[in-house]
Structure 1
Amino acid sequence: MKNNIVYAGNVGVDFYIDLKKIFPGGSALNFVINYKSPSNDDNVSVVSVLGNDQNSDFTKKCLIKNQIFINHLYIFSGKTAVQYIKNNINGEKIFTYYDNGVLDKFQLTNKDKKFISSQDAVVTTVYKQIINLFDQVIKIKTKGIKIVDFRDLSDFNKDFSFIQKYQHDFDICYLSLNIKEKSLINKIKKFSKQKNKLIIVTLGKNGSIAFFGNEVFIQKSLPGKVIDTTGCGDAYLAGFVSEYLKSKDIAKSMFVGTKLASKIASHYGAVNYI
């Protein structure tokens, strides 16, 4: 049976400063396209907004080409969101500046909210430039599961209470942290045990760890050449969710996510769009 899944979040472009090249980007775009990449026949949609510029046309075509439903993708007068990126010698992405463009003005319509509430899985993310949209999405009562990518919490002073504030509004919590952040990881483990929440934490080259109640799951990273880590977290989450919706097997879902993230790291750009 096909699942209906939507990502309500940021769609835009990534500009690689050193390469002087633009790639399609944004967490929502990265997720939905990577979700479809394992020949997944689920119905996948985005809820987002683009500007009326050249970057908009480029990004929209990318979504259509990858069979993503764009009935809730809007075009506003102004600039499409742009993430400016550099890479260090190890391929690790460095986000230098983010211009959220028209995303700043985006308000969900009642039609958008009804659509989001009807989906089998709803995915969203939060960082300071998208807090307006996140606040709208997180309040929506959904038919299916809600997954929130809290990223590395750096925009919120690494304060775990920011996640706790929304504990009744999500089913799966996803984070990207450093293995040295042991205090924060221990808080996450304790929270999962107390609230019986599924929490996945990616740890870069150190793999990933997941907590679900009393259970702990560990997945090592896979060997491979790292060119660019942009979008690896989105790819991991896409792989994880696509498998989890089918099997509810956490360990298997972590492996699928890791495999997809490793593939994305092997080239520039966050998706296989060519």
Structure 2
Amino acid sequence: MHHQQTEHSGLATIGDNTVDQYYGTEQTSFVGGNAVNVAVKLRTLGADVAYAGAVGPDADGERIRRTLEEEGVDTSLLVELPGITSVSKIRVEDDGERVIFFEDFATSADYQPSEADLDALGRRRLVHIGMNPFADRIRRELRARGVLVSQDCAVSSGYADLDVAFCSAGDDRPEAERLAREAIAGGARLAVVTCGPAGSIAHDGERWWEAAAQPIEVVDTTGAGDSYIAGFVHRFAQGADVQTCMIEGSRVAALTCQHWGGFDQVPQIVREGAGA
């Protein structure tokens, strides 16, 4: 196939963006979303990275585009669709616990990459898929173009055509092992399961790996899993071994837990009465 002869360079993410609005003991908002968080973290690690997704023709959409551009992420594949930009509303309890009480993926969930978009993504070395209802097709199309593909399987379903399936199991080790086996049985080449403070495990159908989480004082866990993914795939795309990728994932996740939001940014104040 002619796709296989493409020179691959750089990384990309495709999928969800959102504005995370915090209420309760905090009244602030941050740009986020799995695919956006991973893209920005990859850029901070020094990668050439593009983001593909959709926003609405509104102030939140402009904010997401501007933030990505300020962070150095290529936004040539960020499109505007009719509707509104995705918003997630998070209540912060007195003890600091975060509870998502409203989530609307809106235009994010309507995004389907065109053939031209897929060709552009197909020139990347690795593409990570966040939340996207069309993930099955995207994986198949990218694999046909010779691209390494990873996916957050907590937000997008399906394991076929995946080089790395990322899952999440809290600190439930038996559940983590079950998810890893399920991903491999479903067609993934490698399954990586994050277990919060219990670290992470990985499985390729034969071997098992594990890595500890770094001990830190947690400020906010929002985006920690996305940061783990960014650290892992950054090294994975460079050809590093699985253990090295896991250790780097843990390191990047720990850094994210030490600030509010999925990546370090200046928050905006949420207007009173906007949702809580």
TM-score greater than 0.5 by the shorter chain? yes
How many angstroms apart in 1 are the aligned matches of 2:183 and 2:135?
Answer: 22
Q: 1:14 aligns with which of 7, 15, 20?
A: 20
What is the CA-CA distance between 1:59 and the residue it aligns to? Answer: 1.3
CA contact (8 A) 2:89 2:102 kept: yes
Aligned: 1:138 with 2:144: no
The code of the aligned residue for 2:9 comes to N
Aligned: 1:4 with 2:5: no
Residue 30 of structure 1 corresponds to 37
Q: 2:150 aligns with which of 147, 150, 162?
A: 147
5+ long unaligned stretches in structure 1: 154-161
CA contact (8 A) 2:8 2:124 kept: no
What is the CA-CA distance between 1:135 and the residue it aligns to? Answer: 3.9
C-alpha distance after superposition, 1:162-195 (max 9, x if no partner) = 64xx43x111111111333615623624764996
Q: Residues 137 and 219 of structure 1: is their aligned pair in 2 closer, same or farther, counting only changes over 3 Å?
A: same
Please give the secondary structure, in 1, of the residue aligned with 2:221.
coil
Q: 2:204 aligns with which of 175, 199, 212?
A: 212
Residue 89 of structure 2 corresponds to 84
How many angstroms apart in 2 are the aligned matches of 1:7 and 1:26?
Answer: 11
Residue 4 of structure 2 corresponds to none
- Runs of at least 4 residues off by over 3 Å: 87-93, 189-196
More deviation in 215-224 or 244-253?
Answer: 244-253
C-alpha distance after superposition, 1:87-133 (max 9, x if no partner) = 4566554322211222233232221121122221111034xxx42x3
Size of the alignment, in residue pairs?
257
Residue 121 of structure 2 corresponds to 116
Q: Residues 220 and 209 of structure 1: is their aligned pair in 2 closer, same or farther, counting only changes over 3 Å?
A: same
How large is the Cα RMSD of the aligned pairs? 2.5
Aligned: 1:268 with 2:236: no
Q: Residues 152 and 118 of structure 1: is their aligned pair in 2 closer, same or farther, counting only changes over 3 Å?
A: closer
Residue 75 of structure 1 corresponds to 80
C-alpha distance after superposition, 1:209-252 (max 9, x if no partner) = 11124221111111111121111110000011111222422111
TM-score, L = length of structure 2: 0.84
Residue 248 of structure 2 corresponds to 256
Q: Residues 211 and 62 of structure 1: is their aligned pair in 2 closer, same or farther, counting only changes over 3 Å?
A: same
Counterparts of residues 162-177 of structure 1 (less than 5 Å): 163=158, 166-167=159-160, 169-177=161-169
How many angstroms apart in 1 are the aligned matches of 2:188 and 2:220?
Answer: 35
CA contact (8 A) 2:176 2:195 kept: no
CA contact (8 A) 2:164 2:191 kept: yes
The code of the aligned residue for 1:229 comes to T
5+ long unaligned stretches in structure 2: 1-6, 267-276
Please give the secondary structure, in 2, of the residue aligned with 1:17.
strand
Please give the secondary structure, in 1, of the residue aligned with 2:52.
strand
TM-score, L = length of structure 1: 0.84
